[in-house]
């Protein structure tokens, strides 16, 4: 069925969208609100949001690009060990902005004031995920959300 939301989804081109996740360690540390606050404070909008727990295989599918990496099994185990919050974040340069707010993968390398510098305990347990490119976002967003679950605020 072609609804107004589906049409908007197709037509709105100039605003970038990215998939972000508050990982199980972030949820356990009560950082859901803090992560969202930092995105909103930089002018980004939350277009979709939900909390769920993914299976090991669902985590493996999400991180399929890393399947040959030594950390793949440990990472996918960690990602399925507790609930996560997944969200679609939108705005101008949303992909780069979210990555900037997150900080480097390893908290030891993350710039001061970034989420990972402030809260991550190590390179694996680093609180937050953000798509690294438009190609990644176009795989990751539909992994969790259908078109009618994504809302536009224009
Ligand atoms: N990761 C890990 N060890 C590494 C590199 C990455 O455990 O040496 C984990 C970490 O949780 C990271 C995720 O795997 O966030 C995905 O890795 P990627 O290189 O894509 O980092 P990100 O894009 O999340 O910064
Ligand atoms: Mg990545």
Per-domain residue ranges of the chain: 7-146
The burial class, CB within 10 Å (0-12 / 13-18 / 19+), for 68 is exposed
Res 149 pLDDT > 80:
yes
125 is catalytic: no
| Cβ neighbours of 124 (radius 10 Å) | 16
Q: What percent of the chain has pLDDT over 70?
A: 90
Ligand 2 centroid – CA 133 distance (Å): 9
Q: For residue range 1-25, what is the model confidence (pLDDT) as tens digits?
A: 555 544 454 444 479 999 999 999 9
Question: Which pLDDT belongs to residue 21?
Answer: 99
Q: Are 44 and 100 in contact (CB under 8 A)?
A: no
- The CATH code of the domain at 7-146 is 3.30.70.141
The HSE-up count of residue 59 (CA atoms within 13 Å, CB side) is 23
Ligand nearest to the Cα of 23, by number: 1
Question: Which pLDDT belongs to residue 11?
Answer: 47
Q: Are 84 and 11 in contact (CB under 8 A)?
A: no
What 3-state DSSP class applies to 85? strand
Q: For residue range 57-113, what is the model confidence (pLDDT) as tens digits?
A: 999 999 999 999 999 999 999 999 999 999 999 999 999 999 999 999 999 999 999
Ligand nearest to the Cα of 122, by number: 1
Choosing from 16, 62, 129, 130, the catalytic residue is 129
Question: Which pLDDT belongs to residue 4?
Answer: 54
Question: Which pLDDT belongs to residue 153?
Answer: 66
Q: For residue range 31-56, what is the model confidence (pLDDT) as tens digits?
A: 999 999 999 999 999 999 999 999 99
What does the alpha-carbon distance between residue 117 and residue 24 come to, in Å, rounded to a whole number? 17
What does the alpha-carbon distance between residue 150 and residue 19 come to, in Å, rounded to a whole number? 11
């Amino acid at each position: 069925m072609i609804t107004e939301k589906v049409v908007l989804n197709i037509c709105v081109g100039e605003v970038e969208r990215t998939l972000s996740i508050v990982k199980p360690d972030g949820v356990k540390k009560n950082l859901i609100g803090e992560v969202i606050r930092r995105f909103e404070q930089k002018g980004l909008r939350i277009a979709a949001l939900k909390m769920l727990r993914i299976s090991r295989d669902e985590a493996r599918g999400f991180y399929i690009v890393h399947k040959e990496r030594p950390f793949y099994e440990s990472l996918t185990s960690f990602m399925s060990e507790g609930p996560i919050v997944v969200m679609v974040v939108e705005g101008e340069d949303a992909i780069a902005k979210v990555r900037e707010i997150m900080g480097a993968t390893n908290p030891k390398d993350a710039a001061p004031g970034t989420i990972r510098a402030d809260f991550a305990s190590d390179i694996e347990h680093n609180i937050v995920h953000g798509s690294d490119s438009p190609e990644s976002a176009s795989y990751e967003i539909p992994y969790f959300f259908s078109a009618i679950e994504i809302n536009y605020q224009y």
